[in-house]
Structures are given as C-alpha cells and as structure tokens.
Amino acid sequence: MAALRNHDGSNLTGIWNGLYTYPDGRSTSFVATLIENGAALSGTTHEPNWLSRPRGTALYANICGSRHGNTVTFTKTYDASEAALSEPIVYEGTLRGDGTEIEGRWVIAGFWSGKFLMIRPAGKVAKIARKAFERA
C-alpha cells in the first residue's frame, strides 16, 4: 500500500474534472484520468476539440509527470492526429491539503500560458485508499 500513498496520505489516482484558461479569458473544460505510483504520475485527458468542424469531437492527450509533496508537475502531449497541437504543454500546480483540488499554471514554451484548476470529490480519496487496503 505504500506505493499507492504519498507522504501526506493522499493519492492522485482517479478521475479529475478540470478547466484551463487562456490569456484572453476563454476557457476549456477537460477530464483527466490520473494514475500515481510513488512519485510518478501518468494518465490521459480528453476535452472538446475546438479546432474541429463540425464541433463535437474530442481531443485526447497523454500526461506524464511527478508529484513531490503538494507540488504536481506534468507534461500533456496531444494525440499525434492533431498536428496543430504538437507542442507539449507543461502544467505545474499545487495540491490542496484535502487532496481534492490542484490549481496552477500551464505553459506552451515561448507561446502561451494560463491558469488551470482540477477538482475531484472528497469521497474519492477515501475510496481509493479503502480499495488499496482491501487488495493488500
């Protein structure tokens, strides 16, 4: 069970609802599925594809990063099928003490940056810990 729990007792594994904001104030919602193993973080995201015509399709991305204490850092790389989004996006945020919120900034090097927020219900943290205990 130690591999599933960070030093503060929380684990990021689960489904997070998020929102990132552009410098001009526009925002996009997304859903992230995170898997935390020790300090390593991996997962996927999906969000509305604002580039597609007609609208309604989704954009998919992989994430890879780490967590150290309450600092969460990951790089999001969109699926290769969307050439307009080939630059990796670096996210760095702070995990709230109860493990339900990550807030921070995203950056596309030399191009754009903005804010992001990811939230999950508080009950998810306890449920993950309970499942891990039952498996052990």
Residue pLDDT, tens place only, 13-28: 999 999 999 999 999 9
pLDDT on residue 113: 95
Which pLDDT score is estimated for 122?
74
Instruction: Tell me which residue of 112, 78, 74, 69 sits closest to 90, measured CA to CA.
Output: 74
Instruction: Identify the pLDDT of residue 54.
Output: 65
Helices and strands of the chain, counted as H and E runs: 1, 8
The domains found in the chain, sorted by start residue, are 2-64+95-129 (2.40.128)
Supply the pLDDT for residue 4.
46
pLDDT value of residue 81: 65
Residue 31 tokens read as 């859903």
Spans of the chain, pLDDT less than 70: 1-9, 52-54, 80-84, 123-136
pTM, whole model, 2 decimals?
A: 0.80
Return the amino acid letter for 1: M
Instruction: Please report the pLDDT score of residue 53 as a whole number.
Output: 64
State residue 132's pLDDT score.
Answer: 54
